[in-house]
């Protein structure tokens, strides 16, 4: 684990200690899923970006979705908002496999008659 990754994890851990349940859940998501390389760690370490502000940003977006003061936001949407806030986007590239070569031989039995 690189020094940048360790520093990013430490930053999020320290900020999560002061937070509520949602903030702690977001911190766990960030640590488990987003801080996976130096480039992403550097974005987490941006001094302008905080876990508290990220949580506030998510709450503001959820309020916009609310009806009668209630909102049900799927986890994936919330996590996407976290990624947007920090400017981190997980690789969503789908790798396709080449078809495996087959040992089956295609034979036209009409040619034998």
Per-residue pLDDT of 75-93, as tens digits, reads 999 999 999 999 998 764 4
Residue 77 CA from chain centroid, whole number: 10
pTM, entire model: 0.76
pLDDT in tens, 38-88: 999 999 999 999 999 999 999 999 999 999 989 899 999 999 999 999 999
Q: What is the pLDDT of residue 90?
A: 72
Q: Across residues 12-33, what is the average pLDDT?
A: 95
Q: Is the pLDDT of residue 98 over 80?
A: no
């Amino acid at each position: 684990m690189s020094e940048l990754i360790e520093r990013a994890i430490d930053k999020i851990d320290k900020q999560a200690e002061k937070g509520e349940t949602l903030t702690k859940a977001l911190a766990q998501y960030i640590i488990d899923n987003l801080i996976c390389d130096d480039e992403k760690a550097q974005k987490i370490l941006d001094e302008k970006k905080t876990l508290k502000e990220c949580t506030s940003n998510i709450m503001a977006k959820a309020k916009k979705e609310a009806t009668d003061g209630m909102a049900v936001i799927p986890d994936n949407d919330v996590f996407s908002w976290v990624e947007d806030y920090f400017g981190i986007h997980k690789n969503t590239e789908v790798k396709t496999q080449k078809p495996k070569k087959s040992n089956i031989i295609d034979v036209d039995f009409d040619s034998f008659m």
